[in-house]
Homo-oligomer: A and B are copies of this chain.
Amino acid sequence: MTVQNIAVLGAGTVGAQVLRLINEHRDDLQARSGAQLNVSAVLVRDVNAKRDWDVDPNLLTTDAQAAIDGADIVIELIGGIEPAFTYVKRALKNGSTVITGNKALLAQHGPKLYELAAQNDTDLYYEAAVAGAVPIVYGLRESLAGDRVNRMIGIVNGTTNFILDQMATTGASYEEALKEAQDLGYAEADPTADVEGLDAAAKCAIMASLAFHSRVTMEDVEVEGITSITAEDMEEAAKQGMVIKLLAIAERRVDIEGVEGIGVQVYPALVPTTHPLATVSGAFNAVVLENESAGRLMFYGQGAGGAPTASAVLSDLVAGASHRVRGGHAPRESRYAELPILDPGSAQTRFQVRIRVREAAGVLEEVAGIFARHGVSLLAVQQNKAKDGQDVQIVLATHTTRDSDLQAVIDALGKSKSVLAIESSLRVEGDD
């Protein structure tokens, strides 16, 4: 049986699990791939560091070039742009199969790497880079190869999902929930990448590239994080049978000038509790695909963690090894469609705007008039006494409207003397 040498670059939580699974499931993996999988090198920073998992010390090395050049299949689990980018390029130029879980690298240099793989007649796999164990890359690359994806909505960041869950269930403020997430190890000391939506944006770019056969990078994604979500937003949402989720959205749409293209956005939105995404809690991820023929499909599973992510790496390993010994390739990363990225202003959603106004006759009419003048049609208006005194709170729900029109309304509300504060403006997921 053909032997395939495997170099594992980076041996953190995921790497350790990958090595364990290759070892424990040796016979299964051999039967499935048709290859004998032999770990030939494990690239680490320090060969003498203490490890709480088993590894043959002779495999450990700090010599990246030797590790890469001696392997048929390179599993890159270092993360970040450099030196991962250099290593992956070297492996692909060698004609080796590359498996990576590095979303930052793909969101920035994906198209270059896919091209390099094709030039060298080899394959690049990255199921582990998006949504952990959830097989969304397979879903988009293979299961929907005969269909047309119209829209993709995902919950793809576990940290923010945990924080929003905590806020919803305990009434905690954003700061308190973040603190708890940090104490439990679910959020990093510097939580920026998660809470500002950058991690979700990177995944969104990778998935949108696949779904729409176009070049989408992280810079194309319009991003809004969860840092301005308040306990009051959560309370209001619950009253209306909704939850707030950080959504990564990519959709095919037509802009004001009639140009067909793609919109890619990450933002917190109100989601009705009856929506399949509303029940996705804690560290779970889910991606809903709305397709021309297949209709609505959902993929759901654990979005992070050593073992779930390692499971995604192993599925790529079986596919990659199998293609090496039996011929064939992973589906090519075709960018044939090359749809343009559209301005986020052309996106159409429903909104819910909460403002605080002075209690005075005619204010409701004035506010409703501002919406009407900008062509934003209202679905419902509710007026509440503010908790702390004389002011009045107005919650306005719109019909589907363009982002740019709603932005104009917000600007006009800001200039109105009757409006004391714009407390929140959130999109609402789902049709009118």
Q: Is A318 an interface residue (CB 8 A)?
A: yes
A300 close to B276 (CB less than 8 A): yes
Q: Which residues of B contact A296 (CB under 8 A)?
A: 301-302
B146 close to A313 (CB less than 8 A): yes
Q: How far is the CB of A38 from chain B (nearest CB, A)?
A: 16
Number of interface residues of A (CB under 8 A): 61
A315 close to B32 (CB less than 8 A): no
- Which listed residue, B276, B300, B307, B315, touches A145 by the CB 8 Å rule? B315
Q: Is A390 an interface residue (CB 8 A)?
A: no
Q: Is A166 an interface residue (CB 8 A)?
A: no
A329 close to B328 (CB less than 8 A): yes
Among listed A21-29, A85-93, A418-426, interface-contacting one: A21-29
Chain B's closest residue to A21 (CB) is B293
Among listed A107-115, A131-139, A224-232, A252-260, interface-contacting one: A131-139
Q: Which residues of B contact A328 (CB under 8 A)?
A: 323, 326-329
Q: How does the 8 Å CB contact mask read for A299-326 relative to B, with 1 for contact and 0 for none?
A: 1111001011011111111110011001
Interface residues in A113-138 by Cβ distance below 8 A to B read 127, 133-135, 138
Q: Which residues of B contact A33 (CB under 8 A)?
A: 145
Chain B's closest residue to A133 (CB) is B294
Q: How does the 8 Å CB contact mask read for A32-45 relative to B, with 1 for contact and 0 for none?
A: 11100000000000
Known pairs A33-B145, A146-B317, A295-B307 / 4 extra A-B pairs, C-beta < 8 Å = A25-B148, A31-B334, A32-B334, A146-B312
Chain A contacts to B: CB under 8 angstroms: 17, 21, 25, 28-29, 31-34, 127, 133-135, 138-139, 142-148, 213, 276, 279, 291-302, 305, 307-308, 310-319, 322-323, 326-329, 331-332, 334, 336-337
